Structure 1
């Protein structure tokens, strides 16, 4: 994360993204799911509440390939998100229409380029090479 001026302003570049782990893999209603992000994603701040330390904005440049059973698809766009400085957690909570399916293979009519996927989850953010969460500061407009 870095200093930036403006509203909105890009305040972070996420260069390495990991979904799930060996001991806790991602799951779907169809079984195990593999998510392969294309980095970087950028966190764009739109508002900051200094009393709570919460910054509201969105991730832009989201590109994600998903494989579930026989189905493979790619999605791209942006995703609404908030960042809490005290915990280092970036909470992603996109809404339909922010992301679009750009390609689908082996998904039949379940997932097509007309599908509007959502991305929800929490990412633990650390300063590169450390175990420290970055702190965002700012003021309300």
Structure 2
């Protein structure tokens, strides 16, 4: 009996009713921890989608800026190239914004379902801030596009 831990000895000394109560208590703790891990995994997933969408939006800005530089460096180039780059940059910007909005909606729906059940983690503020940033980016892109670059 050298392998016995104090916890094992304590459980062996309990009667059946006490043992059942202790097992129920431990099962409730594990269930609570599993729910919290699920909520945290949902948040990590949302943040990775947000990071990916910010990367896609950044690619759109880089393409737009590259088209502007190319237009000034090579004014004799075919204008269709600049138009194609402009459409590609708009596509990446809109795709990035759609991705961030979709991921926010999914995150909020899951948090509402799981977090409300637990009475924890109110993500409304985070989602509203993220949607506000997406709105500011989209407004600045479309108004800035009219001022700087017309394909």
Query: What TM-score, normalized to structure 2?
Result: 0.21
Higher relative contact order, structure no. (Cα contacts within 8 Å, ≥ 6 residues apart): 2
TM-score between both structures, scaled by the size of structure 1? 0.22
